[in-house]
Structure 1
Amino acid sequence: MKKESELNNSLPVLKAAIEATVDGLLVTDKQGKVLCYNQLYVDMWPIPSELLTHASHHAILGYCAGQLRDPERFLRSIEEIYAMLAPESFDVFEFRDGRVFERCAKVKTLEGSTAVLVWSFRDITERRQGESYKAQLAAIVESSNDAIVVKDLNGIITSWNGAAEELFGYRSSEIIGSSVLTLIPPDGLEEENRIMNLIKSGKRTNHFETVRWKKGKKPIDVSVTISPVKDSAGNIIGASKIARDITQRKESQERIEYLAHYDSLTGLPNRALLADRMRIAIENASRYSFRLALLFVDLDRFKLINDSLGHEIGDKLLKAVAGRMQSTVRQTDTVSRLGGDEFIVLLGQIHTATDAAGVAEKLAAVLSQPYQIEQHKLLLTASIGISIYPDSGKDASSLMRNADASMYSAKGQGRNRYQFYSEDLTSTSVERLSLEHDLRGALARDEIFPVYQPQIELATGRVVGAEALMRWERLGQGLVSPASFIPVAEDSGLILSLGEHFLREACLQARQWHEQQQFEGTIAVNVSAVQFRQNDFTDVVLRALADTGLSPECLELEVTESVVMHGVESVAQKMRILESHGIKLAIDDFGTGYSSLSYLRQFAIDRLKIDQCFVRDLPENTDAKAIICAIVAMGLSLGLRVMAEGVETEAQARFLQDINCAESQGYLYAKPMMPNDFEAWLKSRKSGF
């Protein structure tokens, strides 16, 4: 009774003490009888007052358990505490409404050895939520693809994530505690100080692009966002940096920028960059009253090399050309590639036109030096047109147009030269464009047609063949010289359709003559180098023969020396295919080009045709006689037939017959004739059938 009395006397004191605590408290005896509790305990659960007054702790616990996520575990733990009476037990449990409590049960012994259990409860919901938020935040930071670096106000790195390790190449153990200057190149220190002053004032910087150092001082391009880091009181204690590697993007941007302004093959400025530099150059020339020059450079017969040896060789040759041109002009000048084999040289400041001529001469000289491209030794020349500001034009368009016209004039004068612009060239250029325009519709308008010139055996006078020659009756303007329209057709690519059409017309006419006129000779058709370079050229020829019904042995194709001098293997292969079908091949205008005798032996050639420029001076000119004698002797030694073109006099014919030249062709016998006229001419002769 005494102990119970002592306990009852101490309860008021205990009650006052537990009301002052920050935890919800409940005191029970060893059997679970409620001895006292504070108001916070009641508010935390909450528990009806009548239940607290009349019920045991076990009844209260049963009521409370219904509010928890795992009531069974809660009640089981209570029973264990009462059974074991351990000095201290700790637990955490969750309510269904999301609250989280910490619970601590301590066994206390009062005076007289009376033991009681003191149950304390603390609401840790906010703390748990904060811990969960921090854990989520840490997980987000760690899983971020962006590098996140945190540093204090002294620039010491305090933490960073895995992406930062990958970006900068340092392990966390290597870098944390080190200065952030480890990651910053010297030229970025001023920028870093300026940004940190902004951070200290509470501002942030968004997505600025800069350069940082990877481990080993390797520069990397990054986009950085820097924000201030504050403590719980709102004081700025450091900065967090989010860095994204933009090296690949920068490289892509630079590549796009490069492709927009530079030629991808040669690395020279392209048309767009040239236009910008021309604009600036013209503005300066106008402001300071000086001249500038525009040189339009076109490589002579480059297409022949490109198509014969392939685009890979052609591309390497263009690179070599670009290198030579750049090394020839001043650093302040611009060498640009427009496309294909066309280049522009902009001389930013000259005193007189003579300066431009000097540069053109240097370019022509350096470009004509031999090129060694893989196993090929190649020769190349260039035609150059020159326009001068302000004499030849006061804007970029005029200068370009006039330099282009000048270049075509240089080509027309024999290539491998330069030509200044003059007013007359404008009309020439316009006429050339007009010629090309009309030529495009000439086939559809039936303006292209063949004429035929007989070929004669000198010893017998027998007609051994006829050469088909292309003519153009331009609508409203009469006949156009082949020397005018054939180069235009070749440059524009129209020669492919014109040539195939003409070949079919000639084959069809020859077949009809064989059937109706008892004509036994061959029909000779000129083939452009552009046609011969077609990959399917042999197919085009064989198809024409099949469609027209002409026997292959009755067709002779005439090609110039320039055809056989480029792409020897490809040319030889095509010639072998044509020869295997019985088609004859002749070298036209022989002696005017640069054929090698060793090459001639490789080709399936049946005839050499001596150019009329040598025949014209016979028999008086000693040099002409010597050249023709040599050609005839060479042809005979190689087992080839030799024909002389442009024979106009009996004296020429006698000389040719005396040196064993077998065949001839020219005005002495007949001019080129329309088909009906050719048929009438045949009938007037007693031989040739």
Structure 2
Amino acid sequence: MTPTLKLHRIAFAMALPAGLLCLLAGLLVADLQQKRQDAEQRAKVATELSVVRTRLEGIVEATSSLTVGLSNWLETQDGKFEPAVFETLARKTILVNHHIRSITLAPQDVISSVYPLAGNEAAIGLRYADHYDEVDDVIKARLQRIPVLAGPIQLVEGGRALIFRIPVYIHDDATYWGILGVITHIDSITQASGVGAGAVLQVGLRKPTGELIGGDASVFEREPVLSDVQVPGGSWQLGAIPANGWPRTSLGASPFLYFGLFGGALMAGMLALLGASLRRSDRQNAALHEEVQVRKTAEEGLKIAGAAFSSSSEAIVIMDSAFRVMSVNAAFTDISGYAESEVVGAVLPFLDPHQGDGGNAQGIVASLSGAGRWRGEIVNLRKSGERYPTWVTINAVASGNGAAERYVAVCSDISAIKQTEQELDRLAHFDILTALPNRLLFRRRLVQDIGAATRDSFCALLLLDIDGFKSVNDSFGHHVGDRLLRDIASRLLGCVRARDTVARLGGDEFAVILTGLDSRDTVVEAASRIISDLQVPFNVDDILVHVSVSIGIACCPEDGADEVLLTRNADAAMYAAKEGGRSTYRFYRWEMTRAVRDRLLLEQRMRQGLDMGHFEVWFQPRVDMRTRRIIGAEGLVRWRDPERGLISPVEFIPLAERSSLIHKLGDTVIRQTVAHADRWHAAGLPFGKLSINVATPQIERGDLASELQGILADTRVPPSALEIEVTESVFMADAERARTTLNGIRALGLSIAIDDFGTGYSSLAYLKTLPVNHLKIDRAFVRDLPDEANDAAIVRAIISMSRSLGFLVTAEGIETPAQFAFLENEGCQFGQGYLFYKPMPAAEFEVLLMEAAREAATAPAG
């Protein structure tokens, strides 16, 4: 067999395997080409999607920061705020953040305030617990104490929205107040970030549950490029495909397949040409690979010049792997003032270790090298030299081998947000009325000063309570009271050094922190200067206002080395100063803590006793000085404690008058006295006239007459059988209110008596203008009769004046026959004291009344 024939046979024998091999090679190369094209298309989509994700996260994060700022303001107000302040803050926030639809406040998870209200009226009164689609997010925010982004939610007032919710805790972060919500337009957020159908991409945004938030839902059914978006309380998912969908190519259209068929046919004829054909195929593959690289570079340029890049409202900077600027968009020029030609090829200052804050630049570069991402706030510089805050997000764009070959930076000018934050910070830390530090800032400074205090350089805390401020507020109105507080703040600032702190804690309570002290003499001088300056009358709207101040002082570290203990001790000292006569100061002593504790325990026990009916009214009879017959009695409250037995009124009456308990105690006395009178009246017992003591706070409240009218409406007791006793301090506190209240009581038919007459310091002029018809001479003037000449003269004058004015007169505290003889001889009509009867329980007094009734029934007529 010749070589040619042998080669022919070999060629025929190799024809089918060689043809199949060529066909297989063609199929493999065609498949690789199609996968490469798909990968390049998906990488292009992924890069453009990163810009969308960066915009979306920037908007969400800026809105979340605003929500946190608003909640911080609300916490510092302890949940109590002026509606006008809330509306001002909300209006400013919405003006600079157009994607925000409205802001809501929901105390105890019930919406009570919405701004703007127009169009949102249906939301007022909405309870989150009644809306199953919202309650889970509210519960999550409350339990985890974090802001949560909820939505999309169908609003009761119409439309769909995304809601930023954050729980609000007040009273040192211990009490849950409710939910603050920022409602945003879904379309504004999604359109601003590029979600939806665009010139380059079709983008969809959904929650992990699959619920669509914005964009095209069909995107997620067409093999999209996916990217997670971090939001408060969870994450969302972005999906994107090319605007015209994914290009589909067929293997049958690949030239490599036909090349394989052609090569197989050639191989069937001649094996020699097969080798040459294979070598030619290798050269073509190499050229094709080089062409692919050129196409990738061209496509990268197309990415940079994409429609999304050029139309963004945020400044976008494309940088190479060395952080040199390759391209910027129009927004960058608008915000910074730099033209593209001025920055291309340069490194931005905040990324250059040799410019600005080098350490910060190194940290950013390190983060990008490790995580491929960095975001944070920097201070940028415009071309004009103006500094402005910027929120920057930088993402790395990786090449095929995973190394970062490009960086995309998105920069947002947050000047408006910063201005809002500064306003919120001012409202959170300074008192709106006086511009002094408020309770929150005061506590921070006190903690700082305590930390720096030593035995040789200590600090002192002065707690101030303005004496008489309530009377000014009640007499002249709150506008005068507010002006007075501002003037007081101004004088206090003039009494201390620049390094000291003057704060308003609330109401008429102020605090002063003196620092760097080496002697208590300095504290005494400051306290004395404050007392002296505040004693000078204030001219408020041509009204001369007189107030004073009581000051409690605690020094650190001697009286406490932490903020809570030092404040508590200074408060105990201030309480001692008020008990010491007001308009004075007291340094803390350890006995004060025990006194405060005992007082608080007694107040708590008293509150429980009032609820459980442990207080009862006793009666001390009043007698006719001529006949010694009972003509009435004074109702006196007694506390029968289950453990301590009878507690002296001297111990609990002053405590009740200094707290709100005096109103409940007074109401108990009135109701019990009237109930006894009603029973005795029904039984026909001659109890005469029963007197009821009323404290000054009960008169100052102004509704005592209406309360008495309500109580008497349910009884058969004639009003003339009852008498109200008040002290002269009633007229000293607020004469006009006292006159109005007593006239109302007198109109009901009750008589009015002045108890402890002669011990006050008010003018006697009120006797001719007030509905008074009975004076009771204080026991202090009766005690030394008849031996003490001054007391005798005073008693004579009171009796003579009462006789001239037509008043009834009762002398209290008669204990000896000599006192009785003197008073009877001077013409005193009635007497009360141990010489006749001691105070006794109602049952014992009732026995006396029954005996008196029997005596009257058996007495001979005439």
TM-score interval (norm. to shorter):
0.5 to 0.7
CA distance in 1, matches of 2:381, 2:742: 64
Q: How does 1:7-156 map to 2 (within 5 A)?
A: 140=311, 144=313
1:277 aligns to 2:449 (yes or no): no
Which residue does 1:440 correspond to in 2?
607
Q: Select which of 475, 482, 492 maps to 1:325.
A: 492
Instruction: Provide the residue aligned with 1:289 in structure 2.
Output: 456
Letter in 1 for 2:842: P
For 1:422, the equivalent position in structure 2 comes to: 589
Q: Does 1:246 align with 2:422?
A: no
Contact 1:463 1:688 in 2 (8 A): no
| Equivalent residue, structure 2, for 1:494 | 661
Distance 1:530 1:302 in 2: 15
**1:666 alignment counterpart:** 833
Equivalent AA in structure 2 for residue 417 of structure 1: T
Does the 8 Å contact 2:315/2:329 carry over to 1? no
Please point out which of 522, 525, 529 is paired with 1:362: 529
CA displacement at 1:270 relative to structure 2: 3.3
Match of 2:709 among 532, 537, 542: 542
Distance 1:589 1:468 in 2: 15
716, 721, 725: which is aligned to 1:554?
Answer: 721
Matches within 5 A, 1:89-238: 140=311, 144=313, 208=377
Q: Of 619, 622, 637, which aligns to 1:470?
A: 637
Partner of 2:8: none
The yes-or-no answer on 1:526 pairing with 2:693 is: yes
Give how far 1:541 is off.
Answer: 1.7
Counterpart Cα distance in 2 of 1:442 and 1:276: 40
- How far the C-alpha of 1:242 sits from its partner, in A, is 6.8
Point out where structure 1 has 5 or more consecutive residues left out of the alignment. Answer: 1-96, 98-129, 150-157, 181-192, 228-239
CA apart distance, 1:432: 0.8
Per the alignment, residue 676 of structure 2 pairs with: 509
Specify the code of the residue in structure 2 equivalent to 1:250: Q
CA separation in 1, counterparts of 2:768 and 2:721? 23
Q: Whose helix fraction is larger, Structure 1's or Structure 2's?
A: 2
> Structure 1 residues 675, 528: CA separation in 2 closer, same or farther (over 3 Å shift)?
same
Kindly indicate whether residue 562 of structure 2 is the aligned counterpart of residue 395 of structure 1: yes
The CA deviation at 1:262 is 3.3
- Distance, in Å, in 1 between the alignment partners of 2:540 and 2:802 is 33
Could you tell which deviates more after superposition, 432-441 or 512-521?
512-521
Task: State the partner residue of 1:645.
Answer: 812
Name the SS for the 2:612 alignment partner: coil
Question: For 2:550 and 2:531, how far apart are their aligned partners in 1?
Answer: 8
When residues 669 and 367 of structure 1 are mapped into structure 2, their CA distance, relative to the original with a 3 A threshold, is: farther
3-state SS, counterpart of residue 611 of structure 2: coil
| Aligned-partner Cα distance in 1 for 2:629–2:333 | 94
Q: CA deviation at 1:293?
A: 2.5
Q: 1:330 to 1:401 in 2, by over 3 A?
A: same
Match of residue 37 from structure 1: none
Partner of residue 520, structure 2: 353
Tell me the TM-score normalized by structure 2. Answer: 0.52
CA distance in 1, matches of 2:586, 2:778: 28
Q: C-alpha distance in 1, partners of 2:419/2:472?
A: 39
Shift of 1:526: 1.5
- What is aligned with 2:776? 609
Change (3 A) 1:423 1:586: same
- In structure 2, the residue corresponding to 1:402 is in which secondary structure? helix
Tell me by how many angstroms 1:508 deviates: 0.8
Kindly report the root-mean-square deviation, in angstroms, between the aligned alpha carbons of the 2 structures. 5.4
Equivalent residue in structure 2 for 1:268, among 409, 417, 436: 436
SS of residue paired to 1:443: helix
- How far apart are the structure 2 equivalents of 1:355 and 1:437? 38
* Structure 2 residue aligned with 1:449: 616
Question: For 2:453, what is the secondary structure of its paired residue?
Answer: helix
* Greater Cα shift, 320-329 or 524-533: 320-329
SS at match of 1:441: helix
Q: Is the 8 A contact 1:293 1:349 kept in 2?
A: no
Quote the residue 1:676 is aligned against: 843
* Equivalent position SS for 1:566: helix
8 Å CA contact retained: 1:458, 1:663: yes
Higher alpha-carbon deviation: 306-315 or 581-590 = 306-315
- For 2:795 and 2:392, how far apart are their aligned partners in 1? 82
Once residues 515 and 626 of structure 2 are traced to their aligned partners in structure 1, the CA distance between those partners, rounded to angstroms, is 66
**TM-score scaled by structure 1?**
0.63
Change (3 A) 1:561 1:306: farther
Tell me which amino acid in the other structure corresponds to 1:333.
Answer: D
* Distance of aligned partners of 1:337 and 1:589 in 2 relative to their CA distance in 1, 3 Å threshold: farther
Native 8 Å contact 1:504 1:545 kept in 2: no
Q: Which runs of 5+ in 2 are unaligned?
A: 1-246, 248-300, 318-327, 344-354, 396-408, 858-862
After superposition, give the CA deviation of every residue in 1:399-420 in whole Å (9 maximum; x if it has no partner): 2222222333333344333333
Distance 1:208 1:272, change over 3 A: closer
Return the alpha-carbon distance in structure 2 between the equivalents of residues 147 and 573 of structure 1: 70
- 1:164–1:437 Cα change, 3 Å: farther
Alignment partners' CA distance in 2, 1:335 and 1:300? 18
Deviations 1:205-238 (A, max 9, x none): 98756699999x99998879999xxxxxxxxxxx
Measured at CA, do residues 272 and 500 of structure 1 come closer, stay the same or move farther in structure 2, by a change above 3 Å? same
User: 1:524-554 deviations in whole A, cap 9, x for unaligned?
Assistant: 1122222223353322221222234322222
Q: Distance in 2 between matches of 1:603 and 1:214?
A: 78
1:222-263 deviations in Å (ceiling 9; x for gaps): 879999xxxxxxxxxxxx99764634652444334542x334
How far did residue 449 of structure 1 move? 0.8
2:473–2:480 contact (8 Å) kept in structure 1: yes
Which of these residues, 389, 402, 424, is aligned with residue 255 of structure 1?
424
Please list the CA deviations of residues 48-105 of structure 1 after superposition, one character each: whole Å capped at 9, or x if unmatched. Answer: xxxxxxxxxxxxxxxxxxxxxxxxxxxxxxxxxxxxxxxxxxxxxxxxx9xxxxxxxx
Count of aligned positions? 549
Which residue matches 1:117?
none
| Cα 1:658–1:306 shift into 2, 3 Å | farther
The AA in structure 1 aligned to 2:526 is V
Partner amino acid, structure 1, of 2:529: K
**Identity rate of aligned residues, in percent?**
38
Verify the 8 A CA contact 2:388 2:413 in the aligned structure 1: no
Q: Is the 8 A contact 1:682 1:688 kept in 2?
A: no
CA radius of gyration, larger in: 1
Give the aligned partner of residue 410 of structure 1: 577
- Alpha carbons of structure 1 residues 653 and 360: separation in structure 2 relative to 1, 3 Å: farther
User: Secondary structure of the equivalent of 1:533?
Assistant: helix
Distance in 2, Cα, partners of 1:688 & 1:630:
36
In 2: Cα distance, 1:248 partner to 1:461 partner: 84
One-letter amino acid matched to 1:620: D
TM-superposed deviation, 1:517: 5.0
SS in 2 for 1:565: helix
Q: What SS does the corresponding residue of 1:547 show, helix, strand or coil? A: coil
Name the CA shift for 1:356/1:135 in 2 (closer, same or farther; >3 Å).
Answer: closer
- Against the structure 1 CA distance between its residues 134 and 305, is the aligned structure 2 distance closer, same or farther, given a 3 Å change threshold? same
